[in-house]
Amino acid sequence: MSARRYFKASFAAAAGYLVVAAISVVKPQPDNHWNAAGRALEAAFIVGLVGSAVAIAGVTAMLSRRPLGTRAGRLAQIGFVGLTVSSVASLIKGGNTLGPVFVLSLLATLVGLLLLGIAGLREGLVARWLPVLPFATMLIGIALAEHGRCAVIAAGWIAMALGLFSTTTSLQRAAAPA
């Protein structure tokens, strides 16, 4: 996959999370019996999750020299896919469902992102903040709960998109013949 796709996926994730943040300010989502706003919120969340899974592959590709980075990225992607499956099931049902799948997927995502951040710090190939950013924004977003959770996560993915773009541009310039 090209760097441009990872860049676009990061912005898609940010867009999805921003829509979730906007809708949840106007109409918070109940656990069950969702109306149109609740379903739109969940659909936007799915967009954010899919974009996140694809964008993480970009960071993982930058850390591919070490097995820890590759495995951590795959674990985070598996977690995002599990979250997506849970969210699709919830969207179909019109309320929260597959609770254990969501919790286990969130745990896999957080552990994968943490290990990816550690691998990125150890590798030192890219901007050191880039691999740590997804874990940090997810953790802060979860801590904020309904008070700006997705807005913080969206800001993290915007920063990730810009970081992926600038890092890949720098790497391409360094690899270009003089």
Q: What is the pLDDT of residue 32?
A: 75
pLDDT band at residue 94, thresholds of 50, 70 and 90? confident
Residue identified by tokens 């953790």 is: 139
Q: What is the pLDDT of residue 173?
A: 65
The first and second tokens of residue 170, run together, are 């720098």
Non-local (6+) Cβ contacts of 34 within 8 A are 41, 42, 94, 95
Output phi, psi for 127, to 5 deg: -50, 125
- Whether the pLDDT of residue 69 is over 90: the answer is no
- Average pLDDT, stretch 141-155? 84
The more confidently predicted of residues 47 and 21 is 47
The residues spanned by each domain of the chain are 3-171
Q: What is the pLDDT of residue 47?
A: 96
In the chain, what percentage of residues exceed pLDDT 90?
39
Could you tell me the CA-to-CA distances from 29 to 35, 47, 97, 158 in Å, in that order?
9, 17, 14, 24
Mean pLDDT over all residues of the chain? 85
- Average pLDDT, stretch 67-77? 92
Q: What is the pLDDT of residues 43-53, one digit of tens each?
A: 999 999 999 99
Query: Is residue 42 within 8 Å of residue 29, measured between CB atoms?
Result: yes
pLDDT band at residue 75, thresholds of 50, 70 and 90? very high
- Whether the pLDDT of residue 29 is over 90: the answer is no
- Whether the pLDDT of residue 54 is over 70: the answer is yes
In the chain, what percentage of residues exceed pLDDT 70?
89
* Rounded (5°) CA angle 56-108-116: 40
pLDDT band at residue 136, thresholds of 50, 70 and 90? very high
Q: What is the pLDDT of residue 53?
A: 94
